Amino acid sequence: MLAESPVWDAETGDWWWVDMPGRQILRRHGESDKVETWDTPEETGFIILTDQGPAAGMETGIYVFDPRWARFDRMVSFDDSGCRFNDATVDAIGRLWASTIHKAAEPGRGRLHCVGPGLSLHMVLDGLTIPNGLVHDAESGRLFWSDSYPEVQTI
Cβ atoms of 24 and 16 closer than 8 Å = no
Whole-angstrom CA distances from 155 to 60, 128, 144, 149 are 27, 12, 7, 11
Phi, psi of 108 (to 5 degrees): 85, -5
Whole-angstrom CA distances from 149 to 23, 32, 40, 59 are 22, 38, 25, 19
Cβ atoms of 30 and 39 closer than 8 Å = no
Return the amino acid letter for 155: I
What is the pLDDT, as a whole number, of residue 135?
94
What is the pLDDT, as a whole number, of residue 33?
86
Q: Please, what sign has the CA dihedral across residues 65, 124, 148, 82? A: positive
What is the pLDDT, as a whole number, of residue 51?
87
What is the pLDDT, as a whole number, of residue 27?
97
Cβ atoms of 78 and 62 closer than 8 Å = yes
Structural domain boundaries enclosing 70: 1-79
Do 58 and 122 fall within a single domain?
Answer: no
Do 125 and 92 fall within a single domain?
Answer: yes
What is the pLDDT, as a whole number, of residue 71?
97
Q: Print pLDDT tens along the chain (155 aa).
A: 888 999 999 999 999 999 999 999 999 999 898 999 999 999 999 999 998 899 999 999 999 999 999 999 999 999 999 999 999 999 988 899 999 999 999 999 999 999 988 899 999 999 999 999 999 999 998 999 999 999 988 88
The CATH number of whichever domain residue 17 belongs to comes to: 2.40.10
Do 120 and 96 fall within a single domain?
Answer: yes
Do 59 and 22 fall within a single domain?
Answer: yes
Do 73 and 136 fall within a single domain?
Answer: no
> Rounded distance, CA 127 to CA 149, Å?
12
Residue ending a domain, choose from 25, 52, 79: 79
What is the pLDDT, as a whole number, of residue 116?
86
Residue ending a domain, choose from 31, 51, 79: 79
Residue ending a domain, choose from 48, 79, 110: 79
Do 115 and 148 fall within a single domain?
Answer: yes
Do 20 and 65 fall within a single domain?
Answer: yes
